[in-house]
Amino acid sequence: MPPAIEKLTVDYRTNPIGIDNPKPRFSWILTDEARNQYQTAYQIQVATELAKLSEDRPDLWDSGQVPSDQSLHVIYEGRELVSEQIAYWRVRVWDKRGTPTAWSEPAYWSMGLLGRNEWHGEWIGSGVSPEEEWIPGLYLRRTFALNRPVRRATVYASALGLYELRINGRKVGSDRFAPGWTDYHTRVLYQAYDVTDFLTEGGNAVGAILGTGWYAGTVGMMGRGVYGTRPRLLVQLHVEYADGTGERIVTDGSWRTSTGAILYSDIIKGEKQDTRLEPQGWDSADFQDLTWYPAEVFDYYEGTLTAQQDPPILVMESLTPIAAHRTGPQSFVYDFGQNMAGWTRLRVPGTEGRTIKVRHAEMLNPDGTLYTENLRKAVQEDVYVLRGGEALWLEPHFTYHGFRYVEVEGLENELPPGDLLAQAAYSSLPTTGDFETSDPAVNRLYRNIVWGQKGNFFSVPTDCPQRDERLGWTGDAQVFVRTASYNMNVAAFFRKYMQDVVDAQREDGAFPDTAPDANWSHFKKVSSANWHAPDNAGWGDAGVIIPWTMYLMYGDTKILEDHYEAMRKWIDYCESTCEGLIRPGYADHADWLSVGAETPKDVLATLYFAYSTRLFVRIAGVLGRKADVLAYEELFKRIQTAFVERFVARDGKIEGDTQSLYAMALYFEVLPDFLKPQAVRRLAELVRENDGHLSTGFLGVGCLLPALTEHGETELAYELLHQNTFPSWLYSVRHGATTIWERWDGWTEENGFQSPSMNSFNHYSLGSVGEWMFRFAAGLEPDPERPAFKHIRLKPCPGGRLTSVNARYESGYGPIESNWKLEPDGQFTLSVRIPPNAYATVTLPAPAVRLEDGGEHPPGRETYRIGSGSYTFICRMEARQASV
Ligand code: RAM
């Protein structure tokens, strides 16, 4: 197979519709099985019509042959792009021999509505009074006639609230929870769909069901109406006829509105439907809407309309129950075997007027009933009143739950498994990571980490999916972002979230505790007088750590440019809160939910201040801002000195003396070299004194194993990984966990369920150990100088009881693999795969005795520089290391 070009993306997406970046960025992958392959030049062509590409007449842009190895984020430099324009593109490259590949298959994208004046519709809703306790689902519709053949039709839609758009009896798009969650005071996203196939000549109908969502429904513990009280819809359907003319059908006062089956629907409080009330056929042209009211037209929306760039929320997996038991004369509990976020879809027979209630929970009480104490004010219940007749498929529209178990009430008999599905829904991020070892418990831990991500990457990275919280906590996002980006391609997701973080940044530079802003700080300030946030150490720092991670993992420099000033403001703000460069107290959450150790707030806050400053220096360096590099490097050194003088004793002990402190100080590279050995020694001692157990909370936990492994304590890191008595990761695995728990002691053998007011069983934060699995156990580390795994630092660290690791990571250059095996006699075999246009420095645990690389490299070395292709290295480890 000759080298070829695949996986063309524009701004991280395949053939995206309705983007609003005037300078889109192109990426592609070069495939070739041969060794040492790389790109020496590329050519991109962009045209307004497909035919123009194949005829070699690109009328928007022809880059010509550009000598470059760049295959990620090449910026469009062609003619100015206008709203709604469709563009087709293709690319070819020259390989290392200077031979061009064939042109790629063509790909396309289209532009969205680039200016305010391009929106011709009005925001419409209906006359529900804001005082009503339960806002029903609103149905809105209009009909229109088309009397000529249609060439292309695109619909742009948004809502303050949530919408489900329908044309001629069919739902448009498979996404759920559109338009997604942002701070609606500032910004709302819109979606674009190609609906050419939906339309017919003659009568057509367009309609939408509108729910309260985050806009007017309950948000977290803040209650309802955080952003507004009356949901509204914006739709613009652009029909282009074959004859070159066109017309727009938009939301305005001519639309008609009514209600239907949805009596209420609320993210936190569940949904109730009376299926008898559904206006059958309401989304078809021939429906009689004489009894419907004219829609109400609202004032123009003052915030910004932004095209959605992150992958939409979809139903990603459907699970069937693995077990069931009766809990009452008409109720059964079903176990789906996996904790998740989503809802239940079920088909029930039943007579008219019968009520079916579906309740959701993550755990069971010892008596087999649902454990719902940890839900606080959330009501994870969907209720359906049946209309009789044929068995109906039922599912909610605008609510979701965190659950593994459901109880169905209202049926004498158990439902057959095929009639009851758990719909796991999350932001549809492409899977990029795979990690498997010789130890089934570690494998389950990895799967729990991935499911923690699935259960919480829901338009924003939420802390949990079940209780009345589900907020975009910045601290949680920050500690997990690196792990998340090994598991899935989160680049577009975090670009969107970073905008939420910046939208919520305070005037003085403070980054928030939660984003999108949902009045959390206001809420908290009222209930606690001496509370500092938003600007918590480890939380606010997300504003620097997230963009840096996107650069490291995806080579994204645009996110650094876009938010450079916001990051600088944060650093300057932190400095302004200091006394002698020490951040007193600014760490309300501290090392959240640590066990048996308390990390002093000022020490922790100063460490984070130093870390963010150090990252900012690197960011300034990447962007070539030389003056800032010097100025902030100097600031970093002064913080470092202040930290050491104030908090580090002569014997190297850091004030507070907790595992988290040493782990963070080492991971953040805040300690000067001469203090590192003492910190490593003390960290190891603390773990040993604690009988091989950790004591870290949200902030310390992700740093712990990396700090140990990086500083020669790999065996101790493995001891912590394998530990399965309390507190440890495998303690929860041993007790049947299928997701990561919020707290180490969420459930214990001695005390059962703990702290119900804050006891989620689906919280990804403590799962940040996933980062260590990829970076150290598998040894897949990016190089900040050549990010996105252009240069792979491949250094597996075997240890503990593991005899093999198989890891795969789908990078921007293609798949990377690191597979190792340790035989009882000490033979260590490492097989790696490096994609074209990338290269690796492989470091083995001992000098190679044999290589399977076609004689390219001599044995005897520990370190090899290799290009693309597959290679196998064999070395011998010490008997002690291999004796496991
Ligand atoms: C709780 C959650 C969340 C955490 C905050 C500080 O509400 O556990 O994950 O970030 O507190």
Q: What is the pLDDT of residues 317-340, one digit of tens each?
A: 999 999 999 999 999 999 999 999
The answer to whether residue 522 scores a pLDDT higher than 90 is no
Residue numbers of the domain that contains 39: 4-110
- Evaluate: CB of 589 within 6 angstroms of ligand 1: yes
Query: Per the domain annotation, does 714 fall within a domain?
Result: yes
Q: What is the pLDDT of residues 773-831, one digit of tens each?
A: 999 999 999 999 999 999 999 999 999 999 999 999 999 999 999 999 999 999 999 99
503 φ, ψ to 5°? -60, -30
Could you tell me which residues come within 8 angstroms of residue 129 by beta carbon, excluding any fewer than 6 positions away? Answer: none
Instruction: Return the DSSP state at 774.
Output: I
- Give pLDDT, residue 93: 98
If 0-12 CB within 10 Å is exposed, 13-18 middle and 19+ buried, where does residue 854 land?
exposed
Please state the atom number of ligand 1 nearest to the C-alpha of residue 763: 9
Token pair 């029909």 is found at 239
- Give pLDDT, residue 368: 97
Query: Per the domain annotation, does 759 fall within a domain?
Result: yes
Residues 516 and 658 in one domain: yes
Banded model confidence at residue 854, pLDDT cuts 50, 70, 90: confident
Residues 798 and 703 in one domain: no
Query: Per the domain annotation, does 784 fall within a domain?
Result: no
Structure-token pair, residue 780: 């897949």
Banded model confidence at residue 523, pLDDT cuts 50, 70, 90: low
- How many Å apart are CA 690 and CA 712, to the nearest integer? 19
Final residue belonging to a domain, choices 110, 133, 150: 110
- Give pLDDT, residue 128: 62
Query: Per the domain annotation, does 488 fall within a domain?
Result: yes
Q: Report H helices in 458-541.
A: 474-487, 491-503, 520-527
Question: Collapsing DSSP states into helix, strand and coil, what is residue 386?
Answer: coil
The answer to whether residue 520 scores a pLDDT higher than 90 is no
Instruction: Read off the CATH number of the domain in which 750 is found.
Output: 1.50.10.10
Q: Is 116 left (phi over 0), alpha (psi -120 to 50) or beta?
A: alpha
- How many Å apart are CA 151 and CA 144, to the nearest integer? 17
Please state the atom number of ligand 1 nearest to the C-alpha of residue 476: 10
- Evaluate: CB of 512 within 6 angstroms of ligand 1: no
Instruction: Return the DSSP state at 759.
Output: -
Final residue belonging to a domain, choices 711, 746, 777: 777
- Give pLDDT, residue 533: 66
Q: What is the pLDDT of residues 231-270, one digit of tens each?
A: 999 999 999 999 999 999 999 999 999 999 999 999 999 9
- Evaluate: CB of 475 within 6 angstroms of ligand 1: yes
Question: Collapsing DSSP states into helix, strand and coil, what is residue 469?
Answer: coil
Residue of minimum CA distance from atom 3 in ligand 1: 463
- Convert 25-62 to b/e letters by CB count within 10 Å (16 or more is b): bbbbbbbbeebebbbbbbbbbbbeeeebbeeeebebbe
Residues 547 and 566 in one domain: yes
Task: Please tell me which residue in 271, 362, 719, 742 is annotated as part of the active site.
Answer: 742
Å from CA of 744 to ligand 1 middle: 14
- Evaluate: CB of 469 within 6 angstroms of ligand 1: yes
Please state the atom number of ligand 1 nearest to the C-alpha of residue 742: 8
Query: Which stretches of 390-442 are assigned E, i.e. beta strand?
Result: 392-394, 401-409, 420-427, 433-437
Q: What is the pLDDT of residues 99-135, one digit of tens each?
A: 999 999 999 999 999 999 999 999 999 866 656 778 8
Instruction: Read off the CATH number of the domain in which 218 is found.
Output: 2.60.120.260
pLDDT average, residue stretch 156-177: 98
Q: What percent of the chain has pLDDT over 90?
A: 94
CB hemisphere CA count around 183 (13 angstroms): 20
List 69's β-bridge partners, or say none.
Answer: none
- Evaluate: CB of 463 within 6 angstroms of ligand 1: yes
- Give pLDDT, residue 156: 98
Q: What is the pLDDT of residues 50-83, one digit of tens each?
A: 999 999 999 999 999 999 999 999 999 999 999 9
Query: Which of 536, 698, 739 is the best mutation target for the ligand 1 pocket, counting ligand atoms within 8 Å of the beta carbon and taking the most?
Result: 698
Residues 234 and 336 in one domain: no
Residues 166 and 255 in one domain: yes
Residues 303 and 322 in one domain: no
- How many Å apart are CA 163 and CA 210, to the nearest integer? 5
> Taking a C-beta distance cutoff of 8 angstroms, is the pair 248, 156 a contact?
no
CA distances from 609 to 78, 606, 784 (A): 42, 5, 21
> Taking a C-beta distance cutoff of 8 angstroms, is the pair 409, 344 a contact?
no
- Evaluate: CB of 534 within 6 angstroms of ligand 1: no
What is the distance in angstroms between the CA of the first residue and the CA of the last residue of the chain?
43
Q: What percent of the chain has pLDDT over 70?
A: 97
- Give pLDDT, residue 122: 98
Token pair 């469709």 is found at 86
- Give pLDDT, residue 365: 97
Question: Collapsing DSSP states into helix, strand and coil, what is residue 485?
Answer: helix
Amino acid at 686: L
Final residue belonging to a domain, choices 392, 427, 462: 427
Query: Per the domain annotation, does 329 fall within a domain?
Result: yes
If 0-12 CB within 10 Å is exposed, 13-18 middle and 19+ buried, where does residue 811 land?
buried
Token pair 């290269």 is found at 839
Written as one string, the DSSP assignment of 14-43 is: SS-SSB--SS-EEEEEEE-SSTT---SEEE
Mean pLDDT of the chain: 96
- Give pLDDT, residue 883: 44
Measured in whole angstroms, the distance separating CA 298 from the mean position of its chain's CA atoms is: 33
Between CA 693 and CA 702, with CA 699 as vertex, the angle to 5 degrees is 60
Cis peptide bond upstream of 824, omega within 30: no
Token pair 């990457």 is found at 457
The answer to whether residue 881 scores a pLDDT higher than 60 is no
- How many Å apart are CA 398 and CA 523, to the nearest integer? 25
- How many Å apart are CA 196 and CA 765, to the nearest integer? 43
Residues 369 and 223 in one domain: no
Query: Per the domain annotation, does 783 fall within a domain?
Result: no
List 843's β-bridge partners, or say none.
Answer: 863
Banded model confidence at residue 587, pLDDT cuts 50, 70, 90: confident
- Evaluate: CB of 592 within 6 angstroms of ligand 1: yes
pLDDT average, residue stretch 549-556: 98
- Evaluate: CB of 476 within 6 angstroms of ligand 1: yes
Question: What domain count does the chain have?
Answer: 5
pLDDT average, residue stretch 395-423: 96
Residues 558 and 695 in one domain: yes
Q: What is the pLDDT of residues 426-435, one digit of tens each?
A: 999 999 999 9
Could you tell me which residues come within 8 angstroms of residue 578 by beta carbon, excluding any fewer than 6 positions away? Answer: 584, 606, 609
Å from CA of 758 to ligand 1 middle: 9
Residues 418 and 444 in one domain: no
Please state the atom number of ligand 1 nearest to the C-alpha of residue 539: 10
Q: What is the pLDDT of residues 209-233, one digit of tens each?
A: 999 999 999 999 999 989 999 999 9
664 φ, ψ to 5°? -70, -45
201 φ, ψ to 5°? -70, 140
Decide if 469 is catalytic. Answer: yes
List 61's β-bridge partners, or say none.
Answer: 46
Query: Which of 476, 743, 762 is the best mutation target for the ligand 1 pocket, counting ligand atoms within 8 Å of the beta carbon and taking the most?
Result: 476
Question: Collapsing DSSP states into helix, strand and coil, what is residue 292?
Answer: coil
Q: What is the pTM of this model?
A: 0.97
- Evaluate: CB of 468 within 6 angstroms of ligand 1: no
> Taking a C-beta distance cutoff of 8 angstroms, is the pair 495, 559 a contact?
yes
Banded model confidence at residue 440, pLDDT cuts 50, 70, 90: very high
Other CB atoms within a 10 A radius of the CB of residue 418 amount to 8
- How many Å apart are CA 23 and CA 389, to the nearest integer? 55
Query: Per the domain annotation, does 233 fall within a domain?
Result: yes
Decide if 713 is catalytic. Answer: no
Cα-Cα-Cα-Cα dihedral sign, residues 13, 46, 79, 196: negative
- How many Å apart are CA 400 and CA 766, to the nearest integer? 23
Task: Please tell me which residue in 122, 362, 469, 810 is annotated as part of the active site.
Answer: 469
Which residue, among 42, 71, 104, 107, has the nearest Cα to 788 in the 3D structure? Answer: 71
Residues 405 and 272 in one domain: no
- Evaluate: CB of 588 within 6 angstroms of ligand 1: no
> Taking a C-beta distance cutoff of 8 angstroms, is the pair 59, 52 a contact?
yes
Query: Per the domain annotation, does 782 fall within a domain?
Result: no
CA distances from 675 to 648, 667, 682, 717 (A): 9, 13, 11, 21
Query: Which of 374, 469, 604, 701 is the best mutation target for the ligand 1 pocket, counting ligand atoms within 8 Å of the beta carbon and taking the most?
Result: 469
- Evaluate: CB of 719 within 6 angstroms of ligand 1: no
Residues 631 and 744 in one domain: yes
Instruction: Read off the CATH number of the domain in which 51 is found.
Output: 2.60.40.10
Query: Which of 375, 463, 466 is the best mutation target for the ligand 1 pocket, counting ligand atoms within 8 Å of the beta carbon and taking the most?
Result: 463
Residues 458 and 553 in one domain: yes
Please state the atom number of ligand 1 nearest to the C-alpha of residue 588: 6
Which residue, among 162, 165, 245, has the nearest Cα to 198 in the 3D structure? Answer: 165
